[in-house]
A and B are shown apart, each in its own frame.
Chain A
Amino acid sequence: MEPTQTAEPDYFHKVVDCQWACPAHTDVPEYIRLIAQGEFTEAYLVNRATNVFPGILGRVCDRPCEPACRRGRIEDKPVAICRLKRVAADHRDEVAQRLPRAPAKKNGKKIACIGAGPASLTVANDLLPLGYEVTIFEQFGVPGGLMRTNIPAFRLPVQVLDEEIGYIVSMGADLRLNSPVNSLRKLLDSREFDAVFVGSGAPKGKELELPGRRDTDRIHIGISWLESVAFGHIERIGERVLIIGVGNTAMDCCRTSLRLGAKDVQVMARKPREFFKASAWELEDAEQETVKIVVNHAPKSFVVKDGKLTGMMFDKLEYDIENGEIKATRELGEEFFPCDDVILAIGQENAFPWIERDIGVELDRWNVPKVDKVTFQSTRPEVFFGGDAAFGPKNIIWSVEHGHQAAISIHKFCQGEPVTARMPRGVTLTSRKMGMHEWSYKNEYNGAERRLVPHVALVERFKKVNIEVELGFTAEQAALEVQRCLNCDMQTVFTAKLCIECDACIDICPVDCLTITPNGTEGELRARLKAPATNPQQALYVSAALPQTARVMVKDEDVCVHCGLCAERCPTAAWDMQKSTIKIPHAIDEDATCRS
């Protein structure tokens, strides 16, 4: 193989698996180290720079970083990355003074954002400091989008929402509440705005048209029902509730039902557990609250007697499953489940009744707009999409990242530059060597197991609909959990010409990452290493030919614990531990280059 090009920004970025997996590329190891040092405010600001809503995300993020975490490859559980984010948010000092501010002198460009969900808020967050005047139109009387109307308060308290949304609005956004946009044509024709960002979400809950659907008023659409609960329009539900569907919306519906008087809540799933969409931790929380999950039942009809819903009929199913795929399905007969209410939680769709089809903004057959995956520009140049509105329902952190990227495009567009000419990512490396064998990070591996976040007692939490269930880590728990982080941004950087092939690094590596071997193809090298490199997702780091034997040093990045021992035991400092800082460009960086 050719020597690895480590100057290429993605190479070391991929080694920081959590940061690579995070849609917004939050610098996870850096903020965890700051928490370890008690620098909660700094840790919060590192988060905010990329993910904008650390307090919110520290509670409800989908956390794609955690399945990616390297710790999960060498022991059972990944680092509690998400809940540590909450630690930073909970323990920080006031940050208002340290946040970006909008200049007094505006740049003369006006931007409209439709919807006040996380996507639009991020666009405002990124563009206000550059002097843009940003107007946010929101149909409801409160900002936040689904974060407020659908994510229940027992998972995400309103104070947290208010505070973090407040940081953006108080930068000078013109937030117009109770102001639905009913016609995009009208908005564009007004010529009031230089660009429009559509962050209106995917607001339509899917229907289940089965016999009996229209014969009762006790069948609810999950996301609308949660919205009514959030706004206080619904305060009660029957004792026996069936939830149809087993995604994250279903989990919020079943747990909310328990807080509105339901005693017997069952989540009805068509397929076996391994096919569930809900995150493992959401299922765990629901089951802990005595929600029953019933698998292999397909809804057949709603049973309504004398205008009253009495229950639902299901087909019981059996599956043949091979390698995680369903090969055959058999029906085993009907089964009746009595209930007082049914909540449908089987998905969301885009809906744009307010976007005229002849204004140059193209939508496809399924009402999904045609949007560029990199620039988020629609088929009409001054209209951009992001968040759930762009490619269908995702999650908050994706909405944030869409917002960042759309903000860059809007900035470029308004400055008359091509939206495709974007700054590349960058990487800087700085040695962490302090003394002969000392590094300016805590390189010692800590064998502690993942800490469990304490929860409010079951009897307490149902007393009100908005009692936050998770209490957050205690100081002691946080202090231990941070030590589980492997500091994956402390990169092992190799200088081939210094190596004397003494094997010290190879002998000391606790996880057998390193091998000196004759060069070969990637396949050959992967098979020939001290511990065969079987995870093709993880790169091999191949050196230039070594001076004495012309063999190469190969590192399998897969399970490196960044203990620094290779560098500690190397007599010639051929290995060094260097911190990689991945530079993710945002609108403000593009602005700096525009000006220079």
Chain B
Amino acid sequence: MSYINKPKVAHPSLPTNALGLTRRQYEGAMSTLCAGCGHDSVTAAIVEACWGIDLKPEQLAKLSGIGCSSKTTAYFVAGAHGFNSVHGRMPSIASGAAAANRELTYIGISGDGDSLSIGFGQLAHAIRRNINMLYIIENNGVYGLTKGQFSASADIGTKAKKGEVNLTPPIDPVLLALSLGATFVARSFSGDKQQLVPLIQAGLKHNGFALIDVLSPCVTFNDHEGSTRSYTFTREHYHPVIEADFVPKASEITVDYQEGQALSVELHDGSQVILRKLDASYDPTDRSAAYHFIETKIKNHEYVTGLIHIDESSTTEFHTLNKTTKVPLNRLPFEKLSPGNAALQKLQARWR
């Protein structure tokens, strides 16, 4: 908690995006999280990412559940729509909202507790349904908001603040997403915005469900020695394999990429993700290979980060599969939304 709000004053040479907005205009309310919480850095990365892709603030819908992580939707893009659901129920709200209005860009913010315990089933089905949204898990290995109990992502052997050792095997959200057929799976770290910002941008543009598991240390309850989710431990076991550069539609690729090291994937709106492989043997388009790679690395306590898997050719995207309305419900004429008693009778007659 800070006593003052972040003042509106800004650097005089702050650049503006195509909409004439500065990064500061994508901020939200002052954070009430603990000073040094990784979640605040993720928020800053989201601000940077949305500004960078010229997203209209009113074009964004922010959805979340309960937890310190889930609180953060209040701290970015004040001009966006938002819904703070009950614990673990954000995926349902997101599915409903997406079905009703496919024109908005959806970003869901959740925690490891919100997503892997109470909301586990919800998350699984959102992935399976391939809802067109970016789903960020701010993963700190604990229930931060309720004072640091182990969450379902806590590693075996990690120590709680008071010394208790976790013996229950963890759920890894990346492996979960790969096994359920997610078409965009990434992992990153709150302390690496250079990696995180383009991942968020690509995730927002991906057609279908995009998951980013962000290692985001809880500075208050899980940043001590013996914890496997502290800033120090994360930095020591952090293993970027594949960096993504996001190139917006119709802009030129200005960086030189080395032959064989880079791979370009076109997203459905024409923008591109350039994947830079730091490990030449790794193929992010091969889902089962990715699964095995990650699984092996986890055994060695290595956090593989980067865009782990991407598949732009999938045909299971929610709107395509379910033939949802192209025109948002709130813009359909009343007669179409509510065709009247005669039409209802006709419909019901089909089951009589």
Contact = CB atoms under 8 A, between A and B. Distances in A.
Contact of A563 (B4, B38, B235): B4
A444 B4 CA distance: 6
A510 to B, nearest CB: 5
Given A437-B2, A548-B232, A559-B12, A510 B43 contact: no
A503 B193 contact: yes
A569 B30 CA distance: 11
B34 interface: yes
A504 B11 contact: no
B250 interface: no
A559 B3 contact: no
B191 interface: yes
B9 A74 contact: yes
Nearest to B7: A445
The B interface is mostly helix, strand or loop, or mixed, namely loop
Contacts of B38: 502
B114 interface: no
Contact of A503 (B10, B12, B41): B41
A568 B2 contact: yes
A503 B7 contact: no
B6 A511 contact: no
A447 to B, nearest CB: 7
Task: With a 10 A CB-CB cut-off, give which of A500, A559, A570 has the most chain B CB atoms.
Answer: A500
A549 B235 contact: yes
The A interface is mostly helix, strand or loop, or mixed, namely loop
Contacts of B21: none
B270 interface: no
Interface in B32-50: 34-38, 40-41, 43-44
B336 interface: no
B35 A504 contact: yes
B191 A510 contact: no
A503 B24 CA distance: 17
B217 to A, nearest CB: 7
Interface in B235-255: 235
A329 interface: no
A367 interface: no
Contacts of B6: 508, 510, 565
B3 A503 contact: no
B330 interface: no
A500 to B, nearest CB: 5
Contacts of A512: 10-11, 14
Contact of B217 (A436, A502, A511, A565): A502
Interface string A552-570: 0000000101011100111
Contacts of B219: 500, 502, 571
B235 A548 contact: yes
A362 interface: no
B9 A561 contact: yes
Contacts of B232: 500, 548
A507 B12 contact: no
Contact of B41 (A504, A568, A572): A504
B74 to A, nearest CB: 15
Nearest to B4: A444
A437 B35 CA distance: 10
A445 B235 contact: no
A510 B30 CA distance: 12
A264 interface: no
Contacts of B3: 437-438, 568
Given A437-B2, A568-B3, A502 B9 contact: no
A568 B1 CA distance: 9
Contact of B231 (A443, A548, A561, A570): A548
Contacts of B9: 74-75, 445, 447, 510-511, 561
22 contacts: A74-B9, A436-B1, A437-B1, A500-B36, A500-B219, A500-B231, A500-B232, A502-B36, A502-B37, A503-B44, A503-B193, A507-B43, A508-B40, A510-B24, A512-B10, A531-B14, A563-B4, A565-B6, A569-B2, A571-B35, A571-B36, A571-B219
